[in-house]
Amino acid sequence: MSMSQHMKDIVIIGGGPIGIACALEFEKRQWDYVILEKGALTNSLFNYPKNMTFFSTSEKLEIDSIPFISKNPKPNRDEALEYYRRVATSNAIHINLYETAEHLTSLKDAFEITTDKAQYRAKKVVLATGFYDIPNTLGVPGEQLPKVTHYYKEAHPYSMQDVIVVGASNSSVDAALEIWRKGGRVTMVIRGASIGERVKYWVRPDIINRIKEGSIKAYYHSEVVEIRPKEVIINTPEGQKVLPNDYVVALTGYKPNFDLLEQAGVSLSNDDIKRPVYNEDTMESDVAGLYLAGVICGGMETHKWFIENSRIHAKLIAAHLDKILT
């Protein structure tokens, strides 16, 4: 065994809300565990837009019945970061931040996890890695230009600029409205026939009205085909159009990193969804001792699982491990 290999009962990969929920369950049982998180605490939430408001109410974002008090009916990003930070620190959970799990190997009766800093040997592993790492790309010429982003943080840089927002989801609509309100000239390029049905119910009428009055331009049944330094070419039902452009904000969704699943030998469904195989009662994958928690369970269906409905995964995993580790 190398000097840097650490022995653990359980390694949790991913320090988001669901990874933290798992840690709280393991902490109660005094199991020897650690969370490995490649970025900041709740890294995905940290990377959300600064002014983002959640769809869920604060009590539905609570983990382990620890109260989440918000000033508003729907909490915002900063309140969520504060909540999960306090939960993590006040319960003294074991978490290594800015440590990336690079390799996961299933051995006969254990797992080997290699990070960019150390090596771990664990009896069990929980994968709670979320899905915010890898953007769904457009796959068009010019997508690598520095004016193109797949993440949106705030509107100020886009003030007085020609901005194309690609997509019609919650994130696209929020970005389009914020950029327009901060003085950006916004055009939405939307593949479908309308603004997405899952857009927050209090925001949807706002964007529809802004499009109707012409404040925000929208092309439906359309897609970007090429991005150039000062313009973008799109295909529309009326033919190809060349639009003046300073920035492209392509918010076309994200996908899980399947690498660790595949390295460990977890089976994925044979379709575009690539849903990992697991037992819904225990959250154990078809690799014995490897558990899945949170949005990773849905494969490419990243809208299926979220904090509100996957909080329970931590308790299901702990209940199953109770029979094995105690």
Q: With bands split at pLDDT 50, 70 and 90, how would you rate the model's confidence at 4?
A: low
* pLDDT over 80 at 326, yes or no: no
Residue 283: closest CA among 127, 129, 132, 130: 127
3-state SS, 209-254, equals: HHHHHCCCEEECCCEEEEECCCEEEEEECCEEEEEECCEEEECCCE
Residue 147's domain spans which residues?
137-250
Q: Are residues 147 and 164 in the same domain?
A: yes
Contact 13, 264 (CB under 8 A): no
**Tally of structural domains, the chain:** 2
Residues 275-323 have pLDDT tens digits of: 999 999 999 999 999 999 999 999 999 888 889 999 999 999 999 999 9
Looking at 221, 250, 279, the residue that finishes a domain is 250
Q: Are residues 163 and 180 in the same domain?
A: yes
For 267, list phi and psi in degrees, rounded to 5: -75, 140
The domain that holds 188 is classified in CATH as: 3.50.50.60
* pLDDT over 60 at 226, yes or no: yes
The predicted structure's pLDDT at residue 1:
44
Looking at 185, 219, 250, the residue that finishes a domain is 250
The predicted structure's pLDDT at residue 303:
85
Q: Are residues 236 and 122 in the same domain?
A: no
Q: Are residues 33 and 126 in the same domain?
A: yes
Mean pLDDT, the chain, as a whole number?
95
